[in-house]
Amino acid sequence: MKSFKFAAVALMTMAALSAQAAADGVYRGQAMGHNDIVVVDVTVKGDKIADVKIVKSLETPAVSELPKKVIPEMIVENQSVKIDRISGATFSSFAIVGAVRDALAKAGLDLAKFQQGPSHKYLFTVPAQSKADVVIVGGGGAGVSAAVSAARSGARVILIEKMSFLGGNTVLAGGALNASDPALEGLQKMSAGQRAMVDGLLAEEPRNELHRALIASCKAKWDAHIAKTPDVLFDCEELHALQTWKAGDYAANLELVDKLSKLAPNTVKQLASMGFDWNDFSSQYVGAIWPRSHDAKYFTSGQGYIDTYRATIEKEKLPVTIYYQTKAQSLIMKDGRAVGVEAIGPDGKPVKVEATKGVVLAAGGFGANVEMRMKYDTQWDGKLNKNIGTTNSPAITGDGIVMAEKAGAKLIDMGYIQLLPVTDPQNGTVSGVCQGTAIYVNTDGRRFVNEMDRRDVLSRAALAQKGGVFYRMCTVQNSRVKPDGMTTMGQSIDTLIKAGKVVRGDTVEDLAKKTGIDAAILRDTFAKFNDFCRKQTVDPEFGRPSCAPNIPMYEGPFYAELRTPSVHHTMGGVAIDTDTRVIGADGKVIPGLYAAGEVTGGIHGTNRVGGNAISDCLSFGYVAGANAAAMK
Ligand code: ADP
């Protein structure tokens, strides 16, 4: 009996001790985020959370910036791990909270103590009523570009953003910007296949006067180039326009295409003048048709564009106010003119913003809206249901298109929806380690398409393979993994391999074994591809026009990554003219209303050229901002 009593007291003391007392100190915890493990150091003092420091996070910068800043503060301030996710940053938010919980458990603290009471939510404060010269809906590439240009033109700007951060799809994409740049592209050689492509375009029967003029002007430049430097890669604005229009089956408004190709080189220069560092080479993104894709030297994905415009706003002290967590609902119209926006603020209450000069719609497309995809799609036979992934941010639900239509805007090309052929089959994201146009091999080990073809052609070909998947393969040397082991999308190669998303094989045989492909077939596939690369002719199997630098599979080690198509871009949207003025269903301009970026239609036709979306949203965004600011 005595001994039992003693034991019970001892147990109680131990329980009481473990319930309250953790040794003061720093405890490390971790949890899986969207891209990789998030690691935190939690300082515990007197059973309280004294500090939370994020030690490692490879989460997408734009998305994770706010959670990284505010969630640790909220945890310490409230002594609670009951923190609501920040919308659009679910994985990043949960990973930080999860890592803190892990650290607290390691410290031996009672987690229940830190989960009492209501959960805590981070809310921005937005006034119920306000006024600006220009109101912009959406803070992706088009929105921030428009904000800078409107403010530089002297306008006071309010930008309404549904999420807690800027960036939209612009920061989730690969980040390439197509612009003709003869000097930069002239560093590359031109293959026979590429020459034939230009000859083919110039021999086309003109479909209208502008087409005729573009062909004539391109031909004059081409003839001069061929006479002097026939082996050097050629480009000009007219070629960019001709290729874009053809790749969209001539369905786009050629005037808009022409304007895009003329604006794009200037957008490259303008960003450089804002401090953006470009790579000193151009490449050819998936479906880009020609190696005129420019991308950032230091930034991953499209993040650099958003950061650069944001830094410009700060540096030039531009009068731009951002209303985060504010969802635009409708346009305020007065006598047929757009004069403001009605929205729902962070606390769920109405927000009204008046625009004395103009409203710019920059709310993106509708790739993440399954209902709208199913309603409008005319290209994919009802396949764009919830079972297919999307590269899009969950915010991209066509709100701007719906608002514009209600205000009388004309919608065009709504049936044209693009699938990106090279996304992660598990989550539809744009990620990966091989270049876009690297060799595509089906699960039987055979090539099945010209990897430099249009995105719709690639996606159809991919969907026709077993399980709708294929491997994109490349050599380690020519991959997008940098010497520090990080990909150009900011992911760690070790994590990707551990997660089974990427396979590394030292030899063809090793790669075949790890992918379950017959080694003899894979060896034969590589041999044929390499033969074409060495000869630099037209690919005899699938008509690929050039091997492109760095694509051959001469020597291992190799990477292979399973890929599948996912919904990426919606080509249709609000009709605009070349000044980005929104056109009404009656064909007349709607005064005070401008639109730019993926919310618009008419620029890409049936199929968007890879790398043209960034050129489109940044270039037309700038035009829209300036024009809205100039409105009387
Ligand atoms: P674009 O490339 O055309 O700029 P993005 O997809 O990059 O398009 O950006 C669109 C932005 O618009 C995103 O940041 C998204 O969160 C925002 N957005 C979408 N719908 C609304 C809405 N109803 N109110 C405010 N912002 C919105």
Would you state the structure tokens that stand for residue 262, as one six-digit string? 């003329």
Q: How many residues does the chain have?
A: 632
Mutate to test the pocket of ligand 1, among 149, 161, 616 (most ligand atoms within 8 A of CB): 161
pLDDT at residue 254 tops 70:
yes
How far apart are the CA of 403 and the centre of ligand 1, in A?
A: 13
Residue 596 CA: which ligand 1 atom is closest?
A: 3
Q: Which residue intervals of 79-120 are DSSP H helices?
A: 90-107
Lookup: tokens for 268:
């490259």
User: Which residue(s) pair with 398 in the sheet?
Assistant: none
Mean pLDDT of all residues belonging to the chain:
93
How far apart are alpha carbons 67 and 299 in whole angstroms?
20
Looking at residue 327, its amino acid is K
Q: Is residue 302 within 6 Å of ligand 1 at its C-beta?
A: no
Sign of CA dihedral 206, 249, 596, 564: negative
Looking at residue 20, what is its pLDDT? 52
Dihedrals phi, psi of 592, to nearest 5 degrees: 80, -5
Q: pLDDT band at residue 421, thresholds of 50, 70 and 90?
A: very high
**pLDDT tens for residues 264-323?**
999 999 999 999 999 999 989 999 999 999 989 877 678 899 999 999 999 999 999 999
Q: Say which of 455, 472, 581, 608 is annotated catalytic.
A: 455
- Picking from 233-242, 340-349, 416-425, 548-557, which range would have the lowest pLDDT averaged per residue? 548-557
Q: What is the pLDDT of residues 278-295, one digit of tens each?
A: 999 998 999 999 999 998
Q: How far apart are CA 341 and CA 328, in angstroms?
A: 7
Residue of 592, 614, 593 lying closest to 603 (CA atoms): 614
3-state secondary structure of 473: strand
Q: Would you state the pLDDT for residue 515?
A: 98
pLDDT band at 34; cut points 50, 70, 90: confident
The one-letter amino acid code at 155 reads A
Three-class SS of residue 402? helix
Closest CA relative to residue 53, chosen from 103, 108, 122: 103
**Predicted confidence band of residue 7 (pLDDT cuts 50, 70, 90):** very low
Q: Is 592 in the pocket of ligand 1 (CB under 6 A)?
A: no
Best probe residue, ligand 1, of 162, 331, 360 (max atoms within 8 Å of C-beta): 162
Residue 1 has pLDDT above 60, yes or no: no
- Ligand 1 atom 19 nearest Cα: 363
Q: Is 391 in the pocket of ligand 1 (CB under 6 A)?
A: no
Whether 395 is in the pocket of ligand 1, judged by its Cβ within 6 Å, is yes
Distance CA 300, CA 549 (A): 21
Distance 220 CA to ligand 1 centre (A): 41
- What is the residue with the minimal CA distance to atom 3 of ligand 1? 597
Supply the residue whose CA is at minimum distance from atom 17 of ligand 1. Answer: 138
For ligand 1, atom 8, the nearest C-alpha belongs to 364
Establish whether residue 126 lines the binding site of ligand 1, counting it when its CB lies within 6 angstroms of any ligand atom. Answer: no
Name the one residue in this structure whose structure tokens are 């996606």: 459
Place of tokens 């492909």: 517
Give the Å distance between the CA of 82 and the centre of ligand 1. 29
The residues pairing with 30 across neighbouring beta strands, listed in sequence order, are: 39
566 C-alpha to center of ligand 1: Å? 19
User: How far, in Å, CA of 629 to CA of 195, rounded?
Assistant: 44
Could you tell which of 165, 301, 399 is best to mutate to test the pocket of ligand 1, judged by most ligand atoms within 8 Å of the CB? 399
What's residue 17's pLDDT?
43
| Whether residue 160 has its Cβ less than 6 Å from ligand 1 | yes
Cα separation, 489 vs 480, in Å, equals 8
**What would the pLDDT profile of 371-409 be if each residue is shown by its tens digit?**
999 999 999 999 999 999 999 999 999 999 999 999 999
In 339-362, which positions are buried (b, 16+ CB within 10 angstroms) versus exposed (e)? bbbebbbbeeeebebbbebbbbbb
Which single residue is written with the structure tokens 């909220």? 74
Q: Please identify, by atom number, the ligand 1 atom nearest to the C-alpha of residue 166.
A: 14
Q: What is the pLDDT of residues 136-189, one digit of tens each?
A: 999 999 999 999 999 999 999 999 999 999 999 998 877 899 999 999 999 999
Ligand 1 atom closest to residue 403's alpha carbon, by position in its atom list: 23
Tokens read off for 484: 């520090």
What tens digit of pLDDT does each residue of 582-619 get?
A: 999 999 999 999 999 999 999 999 999 999 999 999 99
- Is residue 175 within 6 Å of ligand 1 at its C-beta? no
Query: For the ranges 108-112, 325-329, 461-465, which has the lowest average pLDDT?
Result: 108-112
Residue nearest to atom 20 of ligand 1 (CA): 363
Q: Is the CB of 141 under 6 A from ligand 1?
A: yes
Average the pLDDT over 48-55 and give the result: 96
Residue of 248, 234, 232, 241 lying closest to 287 (CA atoms): 248
Q: Which residues pair with 505 in a beta bridge?
A: 558
- Does the C-beta of 143 come closer than 6 Å to ligand 1? yes
> Is 163 near ligand 1, meaning CB less than 6 Å away?
yes
CA of 603 to the centre of ligand 1 (A): 18
Render pLDDT for 433-457 as a digit per residue (tens, 0 to 9). 999 899 999 999 999 999 999 999 9
455 is catalytic: yes
DSSP class of 189: B
Q: Is 362 in the pocket of ligand 1 (CB under 6 A)?
A: yes
Cα–ligand 1 centroid distance for 455 (angstroms): 23
The pLDDT value given to residue 8: 34
pLDDT at 171: 86
Point out the ligand 1 atom lying closest to the alpha carbon of residue 599.
3
Over range 517-537, report the average pLDDT. 94
Contact 429, 391 (CB under 8 A): yes
Query: How many A from CA of 385 to the centre of ligand 1?
Result: 22
Q: pLDDT by residue (tens digit) across 218-235?
A: 999 999 999 999 999 999
Q: Answer yes or no: is the C-beta of 399 below 6 A from any ligand 1 atom.
A: yes
Does residue 9 carry a pLDDT above 60?
no
Atom of ligand 1 nearest to the CA of 302: 7
- Report the separation in Å between the CA atom of 67 and the middle of ligand 1, taken as the mean of its atom positions: 19
pTM of the model: 0.91
Peptide bond into 557 cis (omega under 30): yes
